[in-house]
Each structure stands twice: as C-alpha cells, then as structure tokens.
C-alpha cells in the first residue's frame, strides 16, 4: 500500500519509523502516534510498530503549512 495518490511500487516507497517522522517534523513521538491514530497521517503496522511513507510526511507538512501575511 503506497501513500494516497502515490503510484510508485512498494519497493520504491521509503518508510520512516515514528522516531524518524518525529525528528523530521520536530515534534514528539506521541504527536506522531496521535496523527496516525486520528487518520491525519497514513501508516502501516509492522508487528507492534508503525511505518509511515516518507512522501506522506512531506504531503502532510505541505498541506498543513500556514502562510503568514504581512501588512
């Protein structure tokens, strides 16, 4: 299963651990778990841990970006 809108084969998708996602996003691991459980960040379960497609992290950050308007 690739990230939504991603047509690449699974062997070309790079998956990140929760710790790696937290590092990229500069948030806590608990925040990443909340995003995964709420459905805001797609992930797959491998055993007892989650893996998040790298592109999904970039897409989430791009969609969540809030521009600041200057007067």
Ordered by where they begin, the domains of the chain are 12-64 (1.10.1660)
pLDDT (tens digit, 0 to 9) for every residue of the chain, 71 residues total? 444 556 777 778 899 999 999 999 999 999 999 999 999 999 999 999 999 999 999 999 999 888 766 66
- d(Cα 36, Cα 40) in Å, to the nearest integer? 6
pLDDT of residue 9: 79
- pTM of the full predicted structure? 0.78
pLDDT of residue 66: 81
List the one residue out of 48, 8, 66 whose CA is nearest residue 18: 48
């Amino acid at each position: 299963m690739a990230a939504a809108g991603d047509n690449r084969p699974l062997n070309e998708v790079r998956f990140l651990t929760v710790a790696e996602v937290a590092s990229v996003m500069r948030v806590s691991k608990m925040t990443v778990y909340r995003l995964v459980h709420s459905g805001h960040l797609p992930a797959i379960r491998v055993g007892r841990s989650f893996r998040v497609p790298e592109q999904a992290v970039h897409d989430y950050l791009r969609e969540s970006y809030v521009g600041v308007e200057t007067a």
